[in-house]
């Protein structure tokens, strides 16, 4: 339960601390006194959006802190899962900096907003007036059914199945679309691949062919030069090889007498061997260097094919053409494999759809199990609230398509009169009737969720008199199992409270401030009398206030 709320520098609040008691707590105050401001501050520790416009002093930070007793609510696992220190007296804090940035804390440990929201929603439920409008939303109605039916586990399982099914179906659609587009390109890819495959390209082929073509184109010049060099080395006129050989013999004769000559002899002999070898190789090359027009034509044609392919594909080497060939082969294989992959994913999707149908069926049966208890209990409470002929029905229609929340279409049907046919609740219910239905539904929800605290913000809108007394009694009964904080303008409901808090404004030279204080028994009588008879209550109003507190 909420034991203490501390607020600083928020809207009309400078510094405010209010200690709440267990049981049925009443909050009253004149219109504009700041009750909604206090709820706004409380909503910050429930994870609501924050900005710097709420700061009273824009130069200072705002701090909202709520103290909660949380033992006996099975929340230890939340603290373990989020690596937080569990304390029976847990403190939730939210700080808003002048820049608009906010920070959240649980027991002084920084947490993200999602963690703060997850814990706070298991501690407090705020029913504000706008939720009466939300009753028109089928999503809101479905959430109420899920809460009462305690279908969280089934809903979580269904949602995971739905997510898997949706992802696989999207994957299949994309694959089919890709297959259609790719098949249109298949002939083009196959034609390109065939051209490259028929070319029988080899790595480094281009360089070798270009070198061979160069030799063939200059064959006569090459042969003539080689013959001339061969004649210079070992010809008849001045054979260099023979001259060096003769020099080797002559040095050999004096090598016995002169050490240097012997060394020169060895060196020159090596030169002779090398020159003789060069001469033989040149002779061989000159004999093989013949002009071959047929081979030149073949080489040129081969190079032309390579150049054409390079130009066509805007590539610069045979290696790149071979890489392109490999890529085309991969694309062709991928396209031809689409049918197999599509068949595989279709089978996978069919299995997921079966599991999704099973999960949807379990979820639907769990929801349906709550329909009759909901209808019976809501009608019972409505009868207590002065609607003896009220009818409440939970209408169900199966959906054809899967949705993120299942295959159930839920509608709340209502009728306040004996002969009226039940219809959509917000179409035929008045404001006071909507308030009573919402109280009945909230009673079911809080009982199912085992919440420590529920806060009602003027749930009594549109009712008065005896009905207000009965609503107050229901709220008081509800508070036997939880803390109920009720903001009201009706003395009939305020008189049922065990603790009464007054929200009021004070004005000074420093400005206007909102404050809260708990009323004593005598102050409660005076406040109720004002609610009955105005600011200057008569003796009759004071007596009526005492009677309200005694009933």
Over the stretch 448-482, which tens digit does the pLDDT of each residue have? 666 789 998 888 877 888 888 898 999 998 888 88
pLDDT (0 to 100) of residue 300: 86
* Joined tokens for residue 246: 């003769």
Backbone φ and ψ for 543, nearest 5 degrees, come out as -65, -40
What is the mean pLDDT of the segment spanning 147-165? 93
**pLDDT bracket for residue 352 (50, 70, 90):** very high
**pLDDT bracket for residue 351 (50, 70, 90):** very high
| Three-state DSSP class for residue 399 | strand
* Residue 132 pLDDT greater than 70, yes or no: no
Alpha-carbon 484 to chain mean position: 35
pLDDT (0 to 100) of residue 30: 87
d(CA 550, CA 154): 47
Name the nearest CA neighbour of 229 among 211, 241, 245. Answer: 241
* Residue 103 pLDDT greater than 90, yes or no: yes
Most confident of 11-15, 266-270, 362-366, 381-385: 362-366
pLDDT (0 to 100) of residue 448: 64
Strand blocks (E) in 286-340: none
Residues forming a β-bridge with 89: 69
**pLDDT bracket for residue 79 (50, 70, 90):** very high
d(CA 65, CA 94): 7
Residue 380 near residue 436, CB atoms below 8 Å: no
| Three-state DSSP class for residue 409 | strand
| Choice among 129-143, 181-195, 276-290 with the minimum mean pLDDT | 129-143
**Residue ranges covered by each domain of the chain:** 1-123+451-519, 135-148+370-450, 152-363
d(CA 297, CA 426): 93
Q: CB count, 10 Å around CB of 274?
A: 11
CATH of domain 135-148+370-450: 3.30.300
Name the nearest CA neighbour of 318 among 332, 305, 331. Answer: 305
CATH class in words for 1-123+451-519: alpha beta
pLDDT (0 to 100) of residue 227: 78
* Residue 174 pLDDT greater than 70, yes or no: yes
Q: Share the mean pLDDT of the chain.
A: 87
What DSSP designation does 360 have?
H
pTM of the model as a whole: 0.66
Percent of the chain with pLDDT over 90: 39
Kindly give the residue spans of alpha helices, DSSP state H, lying in 459-514: 465-478, 491-494
d(CA 54, CA 328): 63
What is the mean pLDDT of the segment spanning 2-21? 92
Residue 127 near residue 449, CB atoms below 8 Å: no
């Amino acid at each position: 339960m909420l034991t203490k709320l501390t607020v600083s520098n928020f809207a009309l609040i400078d510094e405010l601390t209010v200690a709440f008691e267990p049981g049925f707590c009443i909050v009253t105050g004149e219109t504009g006194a700041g009750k909604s401001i206090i709820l706004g501050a409380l909503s910050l520790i429930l994870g609501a959006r924050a900005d710097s416009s709420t700061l009273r002093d824009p130069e200072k930070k705002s701090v909202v802190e709520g103290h909660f007793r949380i033992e006996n609510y099975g929340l230890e696992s939340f603290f373990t899962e989020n690596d937080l220190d569990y304390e029976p007296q847990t403190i939730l804090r939210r700080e808003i900096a002048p820049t608009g940035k906010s920070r959240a804390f649980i027991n002084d440990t920084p947490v993200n907003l999602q963690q703060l929201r997850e814990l706070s929603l298991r501690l407090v439920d705020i029913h504000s007036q706008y939720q009466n409008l939300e009753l028109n939303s089928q999503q809101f109605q479905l959430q109420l059914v899920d809460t009462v039916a305690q279908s969280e586990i089934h809903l979580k399982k269904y949602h995971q199945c739905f997510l898997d099914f949706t992802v696989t179906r999207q994957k299949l659609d994309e694959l089919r679309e890709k297959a259609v587009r790719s098949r249109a390109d298949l002939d083009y890819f196959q034609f390109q691949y065939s051209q490259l495959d028929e070319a029988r390209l080899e790595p480094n082929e281009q360089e070798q062919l270009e070198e061979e073509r160069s030799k063939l184109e200059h064959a006569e010049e090459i042969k003539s030069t080689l013959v001339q060099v061969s004649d210079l080395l070992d010809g008849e006129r001045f054979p260099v090889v023979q001259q060096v050989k003769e020099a080797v013999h002559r040095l050999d004769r004096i090598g016995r007498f002169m050490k240097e000559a012997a060394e020169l002899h060895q060196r020159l002999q090596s030169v002779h061997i090398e020159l003789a070898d060069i001469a033989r190789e040149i002779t061989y090359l000159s004999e093989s260097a013949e002009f071959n027009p047929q081979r030149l034509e073949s080489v040129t044609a081969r190079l032309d094919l390579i150049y054409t392919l390079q130009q066509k594909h805007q590539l610069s080497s045979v290696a790149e053409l071979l890489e392109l060939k490999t890529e085309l082969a991969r694309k062709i294989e991928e396209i031809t494999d689409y049918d197999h992959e599509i068949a595989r994913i279709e089978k996978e999707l069919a299995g997921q759809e079966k599991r999704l149908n099973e999960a949807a069926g379990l979820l639907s049966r769990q929801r349906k199990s709550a329909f009759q208890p909901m209808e019976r209990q809501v009608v019972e409470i409505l009868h207590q609230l002065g609607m003896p002929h009220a009818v409440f029905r939970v209408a169900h229609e199966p959906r054809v398509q899967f949705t993120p929340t299942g295959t159930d279409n839920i509608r709340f049907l209502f009728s306040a009169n004996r002969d009226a046919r039940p219809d959509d609740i917000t179409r035929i219910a008045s404001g006071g009737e909507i308030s009573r239905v919402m109280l009945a539904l909230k009673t079911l929800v809080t009982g199912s969720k085992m919440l420590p605290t529920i806060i009602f913000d003027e749930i009594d809108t549109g009712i008065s008199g005896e009905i207000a007394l009965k609503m107050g009694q229901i709220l008081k009964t509800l508070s036997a199992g939880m803390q109920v904080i009720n903001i009201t303008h009706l003395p009939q409901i305020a008189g049922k409270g065990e603790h009464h808090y007054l929200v009021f404004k004070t004005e000074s030279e420093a400005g206007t401030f909102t404050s809260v204080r708990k009323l004593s028994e005598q102050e409660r009588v005076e406040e109720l009398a004002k609610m009955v008879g105005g600011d200057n209550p008569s003796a009759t109003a004071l007596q009526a206030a005492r009677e309200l507190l005694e009933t």
